[in-house]
Amino acid sequence: MRKSEDIISAVELLFEKGADSIVSVCEAEHSPLYMNTIDESLSIDGFISKNVGSRRQEFPKYYRLNGAIYLCGVEHYLKYGDLYKEKSYAYIMERERSIDIDDELDFLIAEYLMKMRYFVAKHGDDRPMS
């Protein structure tokens, strides 16, 4: 779902920052403060920390890897084997260009977004309401 502009902008960020690596991310759909693991008992006792407030709007923004862009010099990667070091930076992408296809639902969402992208390119931004 990434566009050529994303790749170009990520390369520009690499040079602008003098970075060792650039990795693309997007804003997370949900705060990890509302997530936890569940064991086989299915108990959710203590699932959410008592310190977590109830207003999601007050939470900081969280980002997730989106798998679209990984930039790094070969020598740096061979030496460190790690893209997440001191001179590593995030390239933030829009969520609609950050679909990671892992299952059929992801595929259907990506297919819909691609059809909408084609429709808009062909007809302008007068999108159908359905």
Q: At 16, which CATH number?
A: 3.90.550.10
Q: Are residues 108 and 81 in the same domain?
A: no
Q: Are residues 90 and 106 in the same domain?
A: no
Bridge partner list, 38: none
Domain carrying residue 105? 99-130
Number of domains in the chain: 2
pLDDT at 116 over 90: no
Q: Are residues 63 and 106 in the same domain?
A: no
| Mean pLDDT in residue range 101-116 | 91
Confirm whether pTM is higher than 0.95: no
Q: Are residues 35 and 64 in the same domain?
A: yes
Print the SS3 string covering the chain.
Answer: CCCHHHHHHHHHHHHHHCCCEEEEEEECCCCHHHCCCCCCCCCCCCCCCCCCCCCHHHCCCCEEEEEEEEEECHHHHHHHCCCCCCCEEEEEECHHHCCCCCCHHHHHHHHHHHHHHHHHHHHCCCCCCC
pLDDT at 94: 93
pLDDT at 127: 54
pLDDT at 29 over 80: yes
Give the least confident one: 3-7, 25-29, 71-75, 120-124. Answer: 120-124
| Mean pLDDT in residue range 21-47 | 92
**Distances in whole angstroms, Cα of residue 103 to Cα of each of 12, 36, 49, 99, 109:** 33, 22, 30, 11, 10
pLDDT at 33: 83
Q: Are residues 14 and 56 in the same domain?
A: yes
Q: Are residues 11 and 31 in the same domain?
A: yes
Q: Are residues 57 and 84 in the same domain?
A: yes
Q: Are residues 121 and 66 in the same domain?
A: no
